[in-house]
Amino acid sequence: MRAKGRINLKIAFLDAKTLGKDADLSVLDKFGKAYIYETTKNEDVVARSAGCDIVITNKTAIDRAAVNSLDKLKLICVAATGTNIVDIDACREKGVAVTNVAGYSTASVAQITFGLLFYLLESLAYHDNFVKSGLYAESDTFNHLGRPFRELCSMRFGVIGLGAIGAKVAAIAESFGSEVVYYSTSGKNKNSTFKGVSLEELLSSSDIVSIHCPLNEKTKNLIDYEKLKMMKRTAILLNTARGGIVCEASLARAIDENLIAAAGIDVYTKEPISADNPLLTVKNREKIILTPHIAFTSVEARKRLAAEIAENISAFIRGEKRNRVD
């Protein structure tokens, strides 16, 4: 791994475009030769990773076949918190280390979560259009009460998944005066600050439901049509965690049937979103806001992410198990 006292590793970053052009990837140069690819198709993973000691990926999948084909591979750095795009079992069997980056996007995701919420809760698109369309200029009063909104301090705020991001969202909601409850999908998170409840109680009693759990076998399609039917008709659903946790067809149906008031969605089962995704054809478009998986992408979060990837590589070279998930 060293040549003449210098670290001499070969690194492939398969989807660097997901970190943005302003992310400083020059930090990888100190480890050797870094091959930076903006995007990589699944069929090109093996060819681009061949001969590399380290592969970095955000959302490009590395399956068992790829792991078994890459004889020199020693480390996979996932440029995200979730690691479901890597076959961890295959890596463990072959002795390939896997690291992730936890906590880098907590503030960014929490901020977007409330951005989605306020857009819906306060009907900001409607009010913006009311002014820009000229209707406000024609009004006979100084204000407009066409879309009344409620205060968060009068609401119960339900958080599904109380990891770092869920706990941050819960704390912000509490600072607005909301009564916060949570449901731990793993059953491992116990928090004395907030009240833990069953999923059924959370859904049926919360005015806001915000999802922050990982995508796994327990949480896939966790929120389906039957679960949506449990929610208040005045409730707002937010998902800035992972696509696949909410059944998209069920959500579109629930919105069109007025089973819930609105939804803010940043993540999708297939990304980029499929042109035939039912969320794109919801009848009342004002009741849903869709953003293109931006919750983790603040400038500061992406800078932290790049720095943490480099730290993970440095730790691996030193023989430390920093952020190891394998």
Establish whether the linkage from the previous residue to 272 is cis, with ω within 30° of 0. yes
Alpha helices per DSSP H over the chain: 45-49, 64-69, 88-94, 106-121, 124-132, 164-175, 199-205, 225-230, 248-256, 299-317
Can you state the angle between helices 164-175 and 106-121, rounded to 10 degrees? 50
271 counts as catalytic: yes
Can you state the angle between helices 106-121 and 299-317, rounded to 10 degrees? 150
For residues 199 and 160, the answer to whether their CB atoms sit within 8 Å is yes
- Out of 156, 179, 212, 293, the active site residue is 293
What is the CB-side half-sphere exposure of residue 95 using CA atoms within 13 A?
A: 3
Tokens at residue 105, please? 């996007």
Q: Which residue has the tokens 């109680």?
A: 201
242 counts as catalytic: yes
257 counts as catalytic: no
For residues 224 and 210, the answer to whether their CB atoms sit within 8 Å is no
- Out of 156, 179, 212, 242, the active site residue is 242
- Out of 200, 271, 286, 320, the active site residue is 271
Backbone phi, psi, residue 32, to 5° = 140, -135
Can you state the angle between helices 106-121 and 124-132, rounded to 10 degrees? 60
For residues 295 and 168, the answer to whether their CB atoms sit within 8 Å is no
Catalytic machinery residues: 242, 271, 293
